[in-house]
Amino acid sequence: MTTTYRKLAVLSSIVGANPLLVQGGGGNTSVKDGQKLWVKASGTWLAGAGEQDIFLPVDIPTVLERTRLGIEDLSDLGRNGMRPSIETPFHAMMPQRVVLHLHMLDAIIYSSMPDENSVLRDKLHGLNWAMVPYARPDLPLSRIIDSVLEKAETAPELLVLQNHGIVIAAENEEDSIPLINDVMKRLRLEPRLLPVPDVFALAVGNDLSWRIPSCPVVHAPAFGPSAQVISGGLPLYPDHVVFLGPAALILNAGDTLGPAKDSFQKTYGFEPLFAIIRDCGVLVSPKMTPGAFAMLEALGNVCLRSPAGVELSGLSGEDVNALGNWDAEAYRKTLDSSEKK
Ligand SMILES: [Zn+2]
């Protein structure tokens, strides 16, 4: 590990281990060294940055030129079987030395609320921040960030990416920590009480012997007011679609899992990895990967924090389709299924 990014690796591992900031292989970080950008490799976990070498050096002018030309594929800039993160272009664009892109769940919820701009203006008053309307990760998102940066008088220290997360930018690693803490505090949503799942009721219709997870938060979608994906709308953020699919299998207590799973699969065209049993808890398929499980935990955390009575705006059908047909995300999923943690 070079000294250039040793501090970034420590910082990445600590934010990467916080499930309210980063889930699975989501989020990415970078540090600039002259014309070189050290950026997280696609599909690697920030939480593992302390033990593994997850950063790749890329040439900033090359990345910016490719973005200008509309070239999305940066895989040839990788090495040792690793590709630079799909979100490398906006890391290269941001003028600050250190850039952290986090899937902060509270920020995702706020950015999906009705009248999100004025709510966030109020919450983030005094910070140099800007809102970035939703765009598919990779080139479309980087392009919209480019236009937001162009309009800003001084380079923002915080970007809120609608239905996606945040970007924190600072000149050095030390300065980024108080900023992350400040944003977390300003956007903190109080979690609701989580009941103990009814493990005995969950066992009744479980003819496929799916697992009953011991992680409490994973069961939250089965109880009380729930997030968009549960209430019949589309998911709130891209990684949910990529790892868990655009719809959820929901059963009542006593329903049999096998036939319900088959009919879900016929309707939606993909195999569900989890089943929500109303007021009982959640069952998990043996095909669930570690990355997908991290996204299920994220869904639980979102359900516990989504304000009751506030209708959140999920991604559009078009956005969801664009995520489903995207090569770079298929690559990230492949890495997840081959590296069970
Ligand atoms: Zn992201």
Q: DSSP letter string over 134-161?
A: ---TTHHHHHHHHHHHHH-SS--SEEEE
Same domain for 151 and 25: yes
As a whole number of angstroms, the distance between CA 163 and CA 110 comes to: 9
pLDDT average, residue stretch 142-146: 95
CA of 164 to the centre of ligand 1 (A): 6
Rounded to the nearest 10 degrees, the angle between the axes of helix 173-186 and helix 6-16 is: 20
Q: Which amino acid is at 227?
A: A
pLDDT: which is higher, 230 or 170: 170
CA of 266 to the centre of ligand 1 (A): 30
Same domain for 66 and 14: yes
Q: Are the C-beta atoms of residues 235 and 315 closer than 8 Å to each other?
A: yes
Residue that finishes a domain, picked among 186, 217, 246:
186
- Read off the pLDDT band of 327 (50, 70, 90): low
pLDDT above 70 for 339: no
CA of 35 to the centre of ligand 1 (A): 23
**Domain extent at residue 78:** 3-186
CA of 232 to the centre of ligand 1 (A): 24
The helices-and-strands tally (H runs, E runs) of the chain is 13, 10
pTM for this predicted structure: 0.93
CA of 28 to the centre of ligand 1 (A): 7
Q: What is the pLDDT of residues 283-324, one digit of tens each?
A: 999 999 999 999 999 999 999 999 888 888 899 889 988 887
CA of 203 to the centre of ligand 1 (A): 36
CA of 190 to the centre of ligand 1 (A): 24
pLDDT at 323: 87
- DSSP H helical ranges for the chain: 6-16, 60-69, 88-93, 105-111, 116-123, 139-151, 173-186, 199-204, 238-244, 257-268, 290-305, 317-324, 327-338
Same domain for 152 and 10: yes
CA of 200 to the centre of ligand 1 (A): 38
As a whole number of angstroms, the distance between CA 173 and CA 314 comes to: 33
CA of 263 to the centre of ligand 1 (A): 32
Residue that finishes a domain, picked among 138, 155, 186:
186
Same domain for 104 and 10: yes
pLDDT at 338: 60
CA of 280 to the centre of ligand 1 (A): 32
Which H or E run includes 56? strand 55-59
Same domain for 108 and 26: yes
CA of 129 to the centre of ligand 1 (A): 17
Same domain for 41 and 176: yes
**Taking the alpha carbons of 218, 221, 225, 230 in that order, is the dihedral positive or negative?**
positive
Same domain for 220 and 155: no
